[in-house]
Amino acid sequence: MINKARSNFKTALKTGKALVILALALLVLAPACGTTEPEEGLSSVSIGFSPMQFGQGLGNVFSKFQDAYNPYPSVISEMVVTVTYRDPGLKTIRKKIPGKNVSGSMRIFLEVPSGPDRTFRIEAYDRVGKLMFSGETTVDLSSDRVVTPVDLTLAFSCQGTAWDAERDTLPRLAKKIGLDSLGLGFLAGQIDFDITEEYDLISLALVKTATGIRIIADFNDTLDSGNFSGAVLLDTDNNISTPANGNAVSQLFAGMPLGADFLVLIQPDENAVLIDLSTFTGILAELPDAGSAVSIDIRNQRATIDVPQNLTGNIPGVVGFFGIFGSDGIPTDLAPDWGVCLSE
């Protein structure tokens, strides 16, 4: 932002607008020479944000991993910051930030009239203009401070799509901060740092179709159906306490009560099976043989799986889900526990 202001100023110098700007600045500052508290009404605010998701699977990773990059560059098209306050009527300040300028560690600077109950809201929109995440907070602003920090926690709008950050693959994160810090110590020994296929998940969507559920996983990379593999857990009854049989899968994710009733297991060469976890009692190695084949299509950067309703029974319409994907059974990225999303 500073760089941009600087380059704008350079342009202004070149075009002679600098004189106009200077004149305007003097006009604004002029009362300062004659009166004692000319800017008492304004507070400088520095706004920051941190994304939050259900289960916080990656929530605390952001604080460790976030640097000057946009965690969702290909999916955020625009971020809108609004400040609303009464003066005495309702007033709004709005600032739009193009997606390409959004970064996880950014601060947004605004001048806001001082006073109580200033409500700050951030909304981020995806490529098709759908709200992706948002958050707001209300603070009292006094002009005593040089800069007032305002920090928001953003919750995702989870309408059937779990968004995932770019460049957050498990090998990359493990190298940077370690698997234990990610709460993924159980994957130690399963991550191969030298694998070439490092599939980077961008989004995992659930769509209800006429015949069942369609799972769509989009990646940053072109998928090779010969090695693409993964698992998607589905909590189809939206109840984290079911199934209660303590199967091998729920024990694997101990401490993460996903309530997965079904597991979609994807193996290389476009093989996908659906396993009913309410009846599965075997060990993990037996999972591939415990399921019913479902249709999978791997094309370019997308994997599409259709789970027919005759295998799952009627699904009320709200499904929790969690996905983990990789190459030849080695996980490289995941969509953390997103809790409940509407499958519409």
Interacting residue ranges for Ca ion, rule: CB under 5 A: 164, 168, 200-201, 235, 237, 239, 242, 259, 261, 333
Residues in the chain: 344
Q: What is the distance between the alpha carbons of residues 3 and 308, in angstroms, rounded to a whole number?
A: 53
User: DSSP per residue over 178-237, as a string?
Assistant: -TGGGT-GGGTTT--TT-S----EEEEEEEE-SSEEEEEEEESS---TTTEEEEEEEETT
Non-local CB neighbours of 217 within 8 Å, separated by 6+ positions:
201, 203, 204, 205, 230, 232, 302, 303, 304, 323, 325
The residue at minimum Cβ distance from Ca ion is: 259
Closer of 46 and 69 to Ca ion (Cβ)? 69
Closer of 44 and 220 to Ca ion (Cβ)? 220
Nearest residue to 162 via CA among 204, 114, 122, 217: 204
Q: What is the distance between the alpha carbons of residues 144 and 262, in angstroms, rounded to a whole number?
A: 57
Structure tokens at 256: 């993460």
Closer of 125 and 321 to Ca ion (Cβ)? 321
The nearest distance, CB 165 to Ca ion, in angstroms, is 5
Structure tokens at 117: 């109950």
Closer of 221 and 235 to Ca ion (Cβ)? 235
Closer of 85 and 321 to Ca ion (Cβ)? 321
The nearest distance, CB 260 to Ca ion, in angstroms, is 6
The nearest distance, CB 19 to Ca ion, in angstroms, is 49
The nearest distance, CB 240 to Ca ion, in angstroms, is 6
The nearest distance, CB 179 to Ca ion, in angstroms, is 16
The nearest distance, CB 250 to Ca ion, in angstroms, is 10
Closer of 6 and 127 to Ca ion (Cβ)? 127
Indicate the pairing of strand 42-52 with strand 148-156. Answer: parallel
Structure tokens at 177: 């901060």
